[in-house]
């Protein structure tokens, strides 16, 4: 603590509003477990809609600061960013906007913010648009010049954003371990509510966008249907721009009685108990928080081999190539309902938020007071 006994002031920058997503989960997990009397954290979001977590953030004594989206307001956007950086006196700006960290931290540097953290949460750009890819490559190139510290959720995510030659610190996507432990009574209750009974339930949690590859999930259900597994249900938790497209694909395939769309849920920790396996066939990932949560619940997990192998905490977890036969074959075999004591492996691997948040807190205090 400084001589004025004031907390270090940190600004988290999110590339969207505070919706339910992996990056937002990361920020909220650490926010909830950092001592706010020592480190005060505000949130800067893009857009003016109400976020899922806004009320919780404000109730904790922090602020949610809104700026217009850069794509729609390219001239106004930097002006609004400068206004916040110049008037709020943050010692640390911690930006979670992947490649766009470069632009944000450039403005922060021009405004005199001493500590500027670029945090990589992914291993590819969240778009296949040629123009957006070119812009992202340009702003990503600004990061080494304007960031004072480099963070990543995994080695793969760090190398994608920062290259092979720059040093960066891996900050684990830690979770509340007790919250995600398997509970058989919750399993029975949730499966009853969802009318699942004796079904073999394949679970997926993820935003409906290009990255998450939901069409592949539908093809898996088609495969299992064709080989005679009639008791299979797919549960998809999440929302996003492609959800209507995926629903049409499901309807056209005649699988509407096999696929449940649960939308955005605040009780994902309970839903894991109802799953029999967890699947994530993403086209790319940094290190998915949902993968840690699902393993903590003791689920057999299948990830695409495009996901970093650092996601594998339980020895039973598998990474598969993105071809239907591989996934269909694995999911056609007998799979144990749960692996017991999975939470112990999560803690040993460094994903206990109560431990990891203290490390980040000490980092903020150290660099915040030295600058």
Rounded-to-integer distance, Cα 338 and Cα 297, Å: 8
Tokens of 325: 């036969």
Rounded-to-integer distance, Cα 353 and Cα 257, Å: 38
pLDDT > 70 fraction of the chain, expressed in percent and rounded: 98
Position 136 scores a pLDDT of 78
User: Mean of the per-residue pLDDT values for the chain?
Assistant: 94
Position 371 scores a pLDDT of 63
Which has the higher per-residue pLDDT, 93 or 125?
93
Whether residue 1 is predicted with pLDDT greater than 50 in this model: the reply is: no
Confidence at 4, pLDDT banded by 50, 70, 90: low
The domain spans of the chain are: 8-174+352-370, 177-348
pLDDT digits (tens, 9 = 90+) for 302-348: 999 999 999 999 999 999 999 999 999 999 998 887 998 999 999 99
**Average pLDDT estimate for 244-261:** 97
Whether residue 132 is predicted with pLDDT greater than 90 in this model: the reply is: no
* Domain spanning 177-348, CATH class: alpha beta
Tokens of 86: 């110049």
The alpha helices in 262-341, defined as continuous H runs, are 268-271, 289-296, 324-332
Which has the higher per-residue pLDDT, 98 or 116?
116
pLDDT digits (tens, 9 = 90+) for 256-283: 999 999 999 999 999 999 999 999 999 9
Beta carbons within 8 Å of 100's beta carbon, 6+ residues apart: 15, 70, 136, 139
Rounded-to-integer distance, Cα 274 and Cα 90, Å: 43
Of the listed ranges 13-17, 105-109, 125-129, 185-189, the one predicted with least confidence: 125-129
Distances in Å between the alpha carbon of 21 and those of 25, 203, 228, 268, 357?
A: 6, 16, 35, 12, 19
Asked if 85 and 9 count as a contact pair (C-beta separation under 8 A), the reply is: no
**Average pLDDT estimate for 65-93:** 94
Whether residue 2 is predicted with pLDDT greater than 80 in this model: the reply is: no
Rounded-to-integer distance, Cα 214 and Cα 242, Å: 9
Position 189 scores a pLDDT of 98
* Domain spanning 8-174+352-370, CATH class: alpha beta
Confidence at 126, pLDDT banded by 50, 70, 90: low
Tokens of 324: 């239907």
Asked if 204 and 279 count as a contact pair (C-beta separation under 8 A), the reply is: yes
Tokens of 252: 């056209």
Distances in Å between the alpha carbon of 235 and those of 69, 200, 276, 299?
A: 32, 11, 11, 14
Confidence at 3, pLDDT banded by 50, 70, 90: very low
Position 34 scores a pLDDT of 98
The residues with which 267 forms a beta bridge, in sequence order, are: none
Q: Residue 309: CA atoms inside 13 Å, Cβ hemisphere, count?
A: 6
Rounded-to-integer distance, Cα 91 and Cα 148, Å: 12
Q: Tell me, yes or no, if the two domains 8-174+352-370 and 177-348 fold the same way.
A: yes
Beta carbons within 8 Å of 262's beta carbon, 6+ residues apart: 235, 236, 237, 271
The residues with which 260 forms a beta bridge, in sequence order, are: 235
Q: What are phi and psi of 11, to 5 degrees?
A: -115, 115
Position 30 scores a pLDDT of 98
Position 336 scores a pLDDT of 85
pLDDT digits (tens, 9 = 90+) for 135-170: 778 889 999 999 999 999 999 999 999 999 999 999
3-state helix, strand and coil shares in percent for the chain, rounded to the nearest 5: 45, 20, 40
CA 67 to chain centroid, in Å, comes to: 22
Position 127 scores a pLDDT of 67
Position 354 scores a pLDDT of 97
């Amino acid at each position: 603590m400084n001589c004025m006994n004031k907390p270090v002031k940190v600004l988290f920058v999110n590339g969207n509003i505070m919706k339910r997503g992996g990056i937002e989960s990361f920020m909220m997990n650490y926010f909830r477990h950092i001592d706010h009397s020592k480190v005060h954290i505000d949130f800067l979001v893009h857009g003016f809609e109400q976020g899922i977590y806004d009320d919780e953030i404000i109730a904790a004594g922090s602020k949610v600061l809104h700026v217009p989206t850069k794509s729609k307001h390219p001239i106004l956007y930097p002006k609004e960013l400068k206004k916040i950086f110049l008037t709020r006196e943050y010692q640390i700006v911690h930006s979670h906007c992947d490649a766009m960290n470069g632009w944000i931290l450039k403005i922060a540097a021009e405004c005199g913010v001493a500590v500027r953290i670029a945090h990589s949460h992914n291993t590819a750009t969240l778009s296949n648009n040629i123009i957006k890819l070119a812009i992202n490559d340009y702003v990503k190139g600004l990061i080494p010049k304007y960031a004072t510290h480099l963070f990543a959720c995994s080695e793969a995510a760090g190398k994608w954003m920062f290259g092979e030659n720059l040093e960066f610190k891996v900050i684990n996507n830690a979770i509340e371990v007790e919250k995600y432990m398997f509970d058989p009574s919750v399993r029975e209750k949730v499966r009853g509510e969802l009318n699942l009974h004796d079904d073999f339930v394949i679970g997926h949690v993820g935003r409906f966008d290009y990255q998450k590859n939901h069409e592949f999930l539908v093809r898996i259900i088609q495969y299992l249907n064709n080989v005679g597994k009639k008791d299979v249900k797919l549960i998809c938790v999440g929302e996003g721009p492609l959800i209507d497209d995926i629903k049409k694909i499901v309807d056209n395939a005649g699988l509407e009685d096999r696929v449940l769309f649960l939308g955005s849920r605040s009780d994902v920790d309970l839903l894991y108990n109802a799953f029999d396996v967890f699947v994530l066939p993403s086209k790319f990932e940094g290190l998915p928080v949902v993968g840690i949560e699902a393993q903590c619940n003791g689920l057999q997990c299948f990830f695409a081999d495009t996901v970093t192998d650092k996601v594998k905490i339980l020895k039973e977890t598998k990474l598969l190539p993105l071809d239907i036969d591989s996934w269909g074959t694995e999911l056609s075999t007998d799979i144990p309902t749960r692996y017991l004591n999975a939470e112990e492996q999560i803690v040993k691997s460094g994903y206990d938020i109560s431990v990891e948040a203290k490390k980040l807190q000490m980092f903020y205090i150290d660099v915040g007071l030295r600058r």
